[in-house]
Amino acid sequence: MAAYVCPPAVIHGEHAVKTSQIVAEVRDRHPEAAWEPRIDGIAASTGIETRGWMLPLETAVAPGNGSGLRSVGVDAAQEALARDGFSPQDVDRAIAALETIPAPQTVQERTAPAWEAVQSYGERAARGALQIAGLDVADVDCLITSNSTTPALPGLDVALANRLSLRDDAMLLPASQWACVAGTRSLALAAELVAADPDRVVLVVIAEALSTTYQPADDTLESLIVRLLFADTATAVVVTGRRRRESVLRLDASWNHTLPGTQDLHRLETRSDGTHFVMDRRGPRAVQETVTAMWEWLRVRYQDEPGSWHPDVLLAHPGGTRVLEYMEQTMPDTWPSGLLDHSRASYTTGNRGGAAVFDIMRRAYDAGQKPGSRAVLYAAAPGLSATALAGEWL
């Protein structure tokens, strides 16, 4: 396996949303929540002060276009009130009052503008990646796409094929459910594709509007954490089978790992008011198990290397600070400190899901890496599954 990666293009959400704004909105909406007295400490523990969204906070918290009667219907409400002994005049007054109560946004109201933004951001990232790689749209032989929170059919692959005017014989490979592992897994797939045909050019585009999971009515502690964590980002990168002048990273090996019985720890649920991200508090410990398995893969792979092998940079998206801390605590003592600096820097502006690893890679590239520096890329996603890659900076 040898695949060559050009620097990623990263398009951050253009609407800055401060943690203080989220805290104020949640506190105003849920003043009686059991966790309300702890909200400031919980927000501070994320280490995130601001994040970029494709749409403003006001859009996420706005009421729907209908009224509170939408879910039951006017006729049903009138019949219920009449059965309870209300006079016709009282029924009319009650219905008029209920019609003034705003209803939550519907799935369509939440998803439609976000889906349009995902396509627009994805196109910008794709064009940016091609420009960075010194290639034209006509050079693309395969397009791999991922977006998890704005489901659509046809999907992002077809949308971008039309927006970019890809060749009609370009292979389209959508992967809408890869979620947080999209960055590493798309690179692993691209590497397999170019290994089969070294002349192939693969364009990877990941565009995530994770802010669509911001659900104002939810009052659980887990929903509070979800509101605080996510950012919106579109990223893209070009992978080739032959080294180009613009290539900055060579991928040499990939690893995959899935933990059975963990599919319910992190999941998306589609309800009448949109997409909800549900997570279990056992999630971080399960992610830690994949980290331990990755350490073993690296140990076995490099056990015959002279001296004590270690990566010079570790580009990891584990989803949260707890797992980053676990990675630092469990990596071999002989490894240098600071391997996760770029991962931590990326996380300070939000969890980017599948786009995270490309954002982290871009930060490492911008910081400058010595040719020959050893790199490991890692991500874990709902399922619970993980993918890692090992390679070398060029």
**CA dist., res. 373 & res. 116, Å (int):** 39
- How does DSSP classify residue 104? P
Whether 253 and 236 map to the same domain: the answer is: no
Please report the beta strands in 179-242, taking only residues with DSSP state E, as ranges in sequence order: 201-209, 232-240
Whether 228 and 258 map to the same domain: the answer is: no
Please report the beta strands in the chain, taking only residues with DSSP state E, as ranges in sequence order: 3-5, 9-12, 15-18, 50-53, 142-146, 171-174, 201-209, 232-240, 249-258, 266-271, 274-279, 313-317, 374-381, 385-393
* Long-range contacts from 137-141, C-beta under 8 angstroms, 24+ separation: 137/164, 137/165, 137/166, 138/167, 139/201, 140/164, 140/166, 140/167, 140/170, 140/201, 140/202, 140/203, 141/167, 141/170, 141/171, 141/197, 141/200, 141/201, 141/202
Single out the residue in 240, 262, 293 at which a domain terminates: 240
DSSP state string for 299-346:
HHHTTTSSS----SEEEEE-SSHHHHHHHHHHS-TTSPTTTTHHHHHH
- In this structure, are residues 337 and 165 in contact, taking their beta carbons and an 8 Å threshold? no
**CA dist., res. 234 & res. 243, Å (int):** 25
**CA dist., res. 170 & res. 239, Å (int):** 15
- In this structure, are residues 136 and 107 in contact, taking their beta carbons and an 8 Å threshold? no
* Number of domains observed in the structure of the chain: 2
Single out the residue in 216, 240, 264 at which a domain terminates: 240
Does 35 fall in a domain?
Answer: yes
Quick one: pLDDT at residue 84? 65
Helix (H, G, I), strand (E, B) or coil at 12: strand
Does 323 fall in a domain?
Answer: yes
Residue 62 neighbours by CB under 8 Å, 6+ apart = 105
The CATH number covering residue 203 comes to 3.40.47.10
Whether 268 and 209 map to the same domain: the answer is: no
Phi, psi for residue 232 in degrees, rounded to 5: -105, 130
Mean pLDDT by 10 residues, the chain (394 residues): 94 97 93 91 92 93 66 60 69 60 74 93 98 98 94 94 98 92 97 97 97 88 89 98 98 94 75 74 76 94 85 89 88 92 95 96 97 96 90 97
Range of the domain at 202: 3-60+105-240
- In this structure, are residues 370 and 355 in contact, taking their beta carbons and an 8 Å threshold? no
Bridge partners (DSSP) of residue 388 are 255, 378
**CA dist., res. 123 & res. 112, Å (int):** 17
Whether 27 and 133 map to the same domain: the answer is: yes
Whether 316 and 365 map to the same domain: the answer is: yes
- In this structure, are residues 340 and 308 in contact, taking their beta carbons and an 8 Å threshold? no
Single out the residue in 184, 210, 240 at which a domain terminates: 240
**CA dist., res. 281 & res. 222, Å (int):** 8
- In this structure, are residues 47 and 74 in contact, taking their beta carbons and an 8 Å threshold? no
Whether 159 and 27 map to the same domain: the answer is: yes
Does 85 fall in a domain?
Answer: no
Whether 233 and 290 map to the same domain: the answer is: no
- In this structure, are residues 244 and 200 in contact, taking their beta carbons and an 8 Å threshold? no
Whether 342 and 199 map to the same domain: the answer is: no
Does 96 fall in a domain?
Answer: no
Phi, psi for residue 51 in degrees, rounded to 5: -145, 155
Please report the beta strands in 87-161, taking only residues with DSSP state E, as ranges in sequence order: 142-146
Between CA 373 and CA 244, with CA 190 as vertex, the angle to 5 degrees is 55
DSSP state string for 18-40:
EHHHHHHHHHHH-TT-TTGGGHH
Whether 182 and 33 map to the same domain: the answer is: yes
Does 75 fall in a domain?
Answer: no
Whether 324 and 227 map to the same domain: the answer is: no
Phi, psi for residue 273 in degrees, rounded to 5: -100, 15
Does 229 fall in a domain?
Answer: yes
Does 197 fall in a domain?
Answer: yes
Whether 178 and 49 map to the same domain: the answer is: yes
Whether 300 and 347 map to the same domain: the answer is: yes
